[in-house]
Structure 1
Amino acid sequence: MDLTGKTALVTGGTMGIGGAIATELARRGADLAIVARNLGAEANEVKQVVEQAGRKCLLIQGDMAIATECARVVEETANHFGRLDVLVHNAGGPAFGKTEDVTPELWEHTMALHVSANFYLIKAALPHLRKQSEGAILMISSSAGVRGVPGAIAYATAKGALPQMARCYARDLADDNIRVNVVAPGVIRTRFHKDMPAERKEHNLKHRIPLHREGTAEQVADVALFLITNDYITGETVVIDGGLTSRIA
């Protein structure tokens, strides 16, 4: 898939993995609509990088845990650029706690933000994607969705739903030449893991991650761009975690 002149919508695209994916898409020739719940200095910094790459950038405020907001940001993107070719749902957040600690509100919000948002974004995006000769959808899962994680029942369950969701969509949308894939990062050097206790981080690096180091947002963006641009891959999940999920002990 040649991204030159295409339009991509990236949720949670103002920092970390989402910001890295957005800027890499721009460097490959795409115009960007970047969605975030809060638009501030970081959003403007990403917008500047996109525009320095010679591409257009639209910043949209939106909460992807709300179904109507998902539909609105898609329509704003399509109306502004006149097309939509790539959809990346990266917006998310941590949700820790064992069953007895997870409130109904936290459970519902986690499912809405990580699972339902993909459904509502894709539902709104399909009419626009189908107008093009090809399209690409990328979901951001996690190594937590590949292997069991203690103390994160809501988050791990939500992220674990995405590979199956992508496989179903890949079958449904193949005749439209719309590909659907998933990238599942492990411990990545972003704000998401910044507040991890030092002792837990040291344990991860020494005993859980075979490569003994964190990944970077740019490394995840490399995988994301591969899945978006390779037009013979659909329904797949690529894990990028330094070998974390390959361990059995």
Structure 2
Amino acid sequence: MGLQGKSAIVTGSTKGIGRAIAEALVREGVNVCVSARHGDEVERAVAELSEMGEARVTGAVCDVRDYEEVKALIAHAVEEFGGLDILVNNAGIGHFARVEETSPEDFRAVLETNLFGVFYCCREAIPHMKRRGGGYIINISSLAGKNAHPQMATYNASKFGLNGFSEALMQEVRHDGIKVSYIMPGSVNTYFGGDQPSAEKSWQLQPEDIARVVIDLLHHDERSLPSAIEIRPSRPPKK
């Protein structure tokens, strides 16, 4: 895909992996719509990204758990850019506790963000991509989508579901010229799940590593579809 002048939405894109992806897209000349739940963070990201190059940057407040807010996000990007070519579903939350210690509200919030939110965004974006003759949907999953761990049942459920959803969607829309890939990172040095970026965790992946994978996917020839990508730290601490 030639990226110059294309239009993209990146959810959860004011910090961490999403922000790194938005920055990488802007550097490639892609017009980007950023989104997050907090308006001040969206405004700051739009201002900072707009200074990076000639690509157009806009933003919208969006909680992907709310279908009406997702519809408004997609409509805003299409109105601003005249269409939609790329959707990166990055917004996600984690909850790490034993099942009997997990509240129904926490379980619902994770599934609604990590899985329902992706469904909402895809459902709204696909018709616009079809009108453009194709596009690319990239879902940010996790190695927790294929490796179960104790005290991660809620997060595992959301990411196992996301992987299955992505696989089925890929087969549904490939002949419409829409590619679907999902990326499964291992440990990334971000604030996710209450973590703190630090020099002591420099062995972990950086957000820029995931952004590089996104850009590489978008540059693949039309005949090529790497539908599932695993990326992990090359030298984690020895156990």
For 1:49 and 1:76, how far apart are their aligned partners in 2?
Answer: 18
Q: Given the two structures, how large is their TM-score scaled by the length of structure 1?
A: 0.87
Tell whether 2:178 aligns with 1:187: no
Amino acid at match of 2:150: P
State the alpha-carbon separation in 2 of the partners of residues 109 and 138 from structure 1: 22
Task: Provide the aligned length of Structure 1 versus Structure 2.
Answer: 237
In 2, Cα distance between equivalents of 1:121 and 1:233? 24
Q: Give the Å deviation of 1:244.
A: 8.6
Question: Residues 172-183 of structure 1: matches in 2 within 5 Å?
Answer: 172-183=172-183
Structure 1 residues 23 and 189: alpha-carbon distance in aligned structure 2, compared to 1, 3 A threshold: same
- Residues 21-73 of structure 1 show CA distances to partners (whole Å, capped at 9, x for unaligned) of 01111111110110100132575245423442111111100111112211221
Following TM superposition, by how much is the alpha carbon of 1:228 offset from its aligned partner in structure 2, in angstroms?
2.7
The answer for unaligned runs of 5 or more in structure 1 is 206-211
Change (3 A) 1:101 1:168: same
Looking at structure 1, the residues matched to 123 and 42 of structure 2 have their Cα atoms a distance apart, in angstroms, of: 29
Distance 2:134 2:7 in 1: 12
* Two-structure CA RMSD over aligned residues (Å): 2.5
Q: TM-score, normalized by length of structure 2?
A: 0.90
CA distance in 1: counterparts of 2:225 and 2:75, whole angstroms: 25
- Residue in structure 2 matched with residue 65 of structure 1 by the alignment: 65
> SS state of the match for residue 131, structure 1?
helix
Contiguous gaps of at least 5 residues in structure 2: none
Q: By how many angstroms is 1:235 displaced?
A: 6.6
Residue 217 (1) aligns with residue 207 (2): yes
Q: Look up the equivalent residue of 1:118 and give its one-letter code.
A: V
Give 2:99's aligned residue.
99
Q: Structure 2 CA distance, aligned partners of 1:50 and 1:150?
A: 42
Please state whether the residue corresponding to 2:116 is helix, strand or coil.
helix
* Closer, same or farther: CA 224–139 of 1 in aligned 2, 3 Å: same
Deviations 1:124-166 (A, max 9, x none): 1111101113200010111222211221111111012222111
In 2: Cα distance, 1:151 partner to 1:93 partner: 15
Once residues 224 and 43 of structure 1 are traced to their aligned partners in structure 2, the CA distance between those partners, rounded to angstroms, is 24
Q: Quick check: 1:67–1:120 contact (8 Å CA) kept in 2?
A: yes
| Selected match of 1:241 from 229, 232, 237 | 232
Distance, in Å, in 2 between the alignment partners of 1:112 and 1:228 is: 27
**After alignment, is 103-112 or 185-194 more displaced?**
185-194
Q: Is the 8 A contact 2:181 2:228 kept in 1?
A: yes
Residues 118 and 45 of structure 1: CA distance in aligned 2, closer, same or farther (over 3 Å)? closer
Q: Determine if contact 1:9/1:87 at 8 Å carries over to the other structure.
A: yes
Q: Tell me which residue corresponds to 1:209.
A: none
- Percent identical pairs in the alignment equals 28
Q: Which amino acid in the other structure matches residue 79 of structure 1?
A: E
The list of structure 1 runs, each at least 4 consecutive aligned residues, that deviate by more than 4 angstroms after superposition, is: none
> Aligned partner of 2:123: which letter?
K
Matches within 5 A, 1:68-83: 68-83=68-83
Structure 1 residues 13 and 232: alpha-carbon distance in aligned structure 2, compared to 1, 3 A threshold: farther
1:121 corresponds in structure 2 to 121
